[in-house]
Structure formats: C-alpha cells, structure tokens
C-alpha cells in the first residue's frame, strides 16, 4: 500500500500533485516579489521550472544536475538558452521529502521565493495540494561503489546501501554554531518532522558584504538565522538546538534531487555546500560503473543498520 502524503514519503509508484497550489514571496538575493505555482506533471516528466515572465518555448528549465549554472550563494539552474532560476534547493528538498516525482513549477521571476528560509512552507503547500499516484513504477539511482569529491577540509561522498540516508558535519569558529553533526533516513515522514523547519543561516559580517555587492536584498531575520559573533540575533532563537546542521542536510537533499530520481545509498557531507554537492553528482554520473537506474523494490525503502564512529561517539 502506498502511504499518503502525511505518512511515509517513499513508495513504489510515481506521484504528482492532485492540483496546482500557489504562493507569493520575496527572492532572497534579488529582493523582488515573485509569484509561483507548483502544478501536477505527467508520469516520467520529472521536476521542471517554467519562467512565466518570458515568452516562447525556451522558458522551461529541467531540474537536473547537468543544468546547474551557479552554486556560489545558492543552486541556480539554466537551460541551454541561458534562462535561469535560482535558490531552488529548499523547494527541491520539499518535493523530495514529500515523495513528489513529477511537477511543473511556474514562476514569474528568476528566483524561488525564500519564504521563511526553510522548506516548511513548501511542505505545507504540497500537503495542501495533496498527492496522487500515477500507475508507473518509481525509479531510483542505485549507488554501486563509493564516490567522493573534495578533501578532509571540505568534501562529500556517496556509498552503497539500502534506503535513502544522509549525514553531515559542520564546523564554525562561532560558538553559536561550533561543531555539529546530523543524520536522517528519508522514510516515514522524517523529512517533515526532522528537517523541514530548519532555516538557512548566515553571519552578520557576510550579510553586510553581500548587500554592498547588491546581493541578499531580500534577506532578513524573518527568513534566515543571522549570527553575530557568538550570538544568534533572531528573536526566539533556534527552532532546533542543531538547526544549522539540519539545514545543511536539507540543502543536500535538495541538491541531490537534481540527480533526476531518488538516490539509493548513503550521502555524507563535510563542511560542503552547493558546489561540492553538484561536483559529487558530476563524479557519480561520470563513472558508469558507479550507478545504475532501477525500479524501486520494497527492500530499497528500508535503510540498512547504519553506523558512523564519529557520529555515534557524538551522540553517546
């Protein structure tokens, strides 16, 4: 039986939305007001964006790893005509976390609205629209051998395993963040419960520099955690004690969904960001012996017993 959108987000059959759902908001970097809809799409269509402010057939951008055009401050995808849409990672994470395989996102500007800086508003929209199964088998990318990019300072890797599991480690000099690690298995509504509300974050001196460069114009304490020295400036503080690493997990889930299908295996990131996540997908797909496309089976939905000495020691 395929669970509904409020239960397990994984199933063996492709899913899309029951109906289109709409929202408006502000772009994090542009500061511009933008309207967006998340609409149903046919089986095997995948996730794509359509710029409704532009005319012609070149306004559609597939949400795929080989369409990533920029990763400096967010994940930006572009089509071969140069039309782009940015800050897609939180929405992509919500679609992945809610088990949506096929959707068309229509947007009247170049940037997905930041909302409250997390994926939670998008999860709410997807739940409000509802989901339907589409009668075709769900496909996934199975990791067949370890793939790694980067080094001990900043890197990421994929390793074979059952289920869909993610771990991450961060280290910052600020005592407000310090060292944090986290782990999540995408099953049984875990994305909504454990990650969706985790907000993007930045440091006050970086925000001021970005604004001098004409960026982060839409950023505020209403849509990001801002750290000054060793203090969190947001009234009410954090939503989770380890909200910073939870958001890095969220970003990674969104970035890796640009593979075009769920990935069966384990992802681990270490001080990584959007650029490293995309490099990892390039490395995976460059090695034809490292992956295969498969139809999901019941055994694939259950994570294997997972251990990591570093994280187990931290949790003890």
Catalytic residues: 274
CB 69 within 8 A of CB 84: yes
Neighbours of 57 (CB within 10 A): 6
Buried (b) or exposed (e) across 75-91, using 16+ Cβ within 10 A? bbbbbeeebbbbbbbbb
Residue 19 backbone phi and psi in degrees, to 5:
-150, 165
- Rounded to 5 degrees, what angle do the CA atoms 289, 290, 294 make? 95
CB 263 within 8 A of CB 53: no
What's the rounded Cα separation, in Å, for the pair 237 and 226? 10
Residue 160 backbone phi and psi in degrees, to 5:
-65, 150
| Of 134, 133, 140, 121, nearest in space to 38 by CA | 121
Query: How remote is the C-alpha of 27 from its chain's centroid?
Result: 17
Reduce the DSSP state of residue 225 to 3 states and report it: strand
Task: Classify the C-alpha dihedral 133-135-136-140 as positive or negative.
Answer: positive
What's the rounded Cα separation, in Å, for the pair 104 and 233? 37
Q: Which two tokens stand for residue 28?
A: 């994090």
């Amino acid at each position: 039986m395929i669970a509904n959108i409020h239960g397990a987000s994984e199933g063996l059959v492709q899913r899309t939305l029951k109906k289109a759902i709409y929202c408006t908001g502000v772009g994090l970097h542009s500061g511009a007001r933008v309207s967006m809809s998340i609409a149903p799409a046919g089986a095997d269509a995948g996730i794509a964006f359509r710029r409704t402010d532009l005319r012609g057939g070149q306004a559609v951008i597939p949400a795929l790893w080989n369409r990533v055009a920029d990763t400096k401050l967010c994940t930006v995808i572009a089509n071969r005509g140069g039309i782009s849409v940015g800050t897609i990672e939180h929405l992509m994470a919500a679609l992945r976390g809610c088990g949506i395989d096929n959707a068309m996102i229509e947007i009247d500007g170049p940037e997905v609205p930041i909302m409250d800086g997390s994926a939670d508003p998008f999860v709410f929209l997807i739940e409000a629209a509802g989901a339907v199964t589409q009668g075709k088998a769900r496909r996934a990318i199975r990791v067949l051998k370890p793939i790694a990019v980067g080094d001990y300072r900043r890197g990421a890797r994929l390793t074979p395993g059952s289920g869909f599991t993610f771990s991450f480690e961060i280290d910052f000099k600020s005592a407000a963040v310090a060292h944090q690690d986290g782990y999540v298995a995408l099953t049984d509504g875990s994305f909504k419960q454990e990650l969706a509300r985790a907000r993007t974050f930045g440091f006050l001196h970086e925000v001021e520099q970005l604004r001098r460069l004409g960026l982060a114009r839409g950023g505020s304490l209403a849509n990001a955690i801002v750290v000054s020295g060793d203090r969190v400036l947001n009234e009410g503080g954090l939503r989770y004690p380890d909200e910073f690493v939870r958001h890095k997990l969220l970003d990674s889930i969104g970035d890796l969904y640009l593979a075009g299908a769920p990935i069966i295996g384990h992802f681990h990131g270490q001080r990584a960001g959007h650029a490293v996540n995309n490099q990892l997908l390039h490395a995976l797909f460059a090695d034809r012996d490292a992956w295969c496309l498969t139809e999901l089976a019941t055994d694939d939905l259950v994570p294997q017993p997972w251990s990591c000495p570093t994280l187990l020691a931290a949790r003890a």
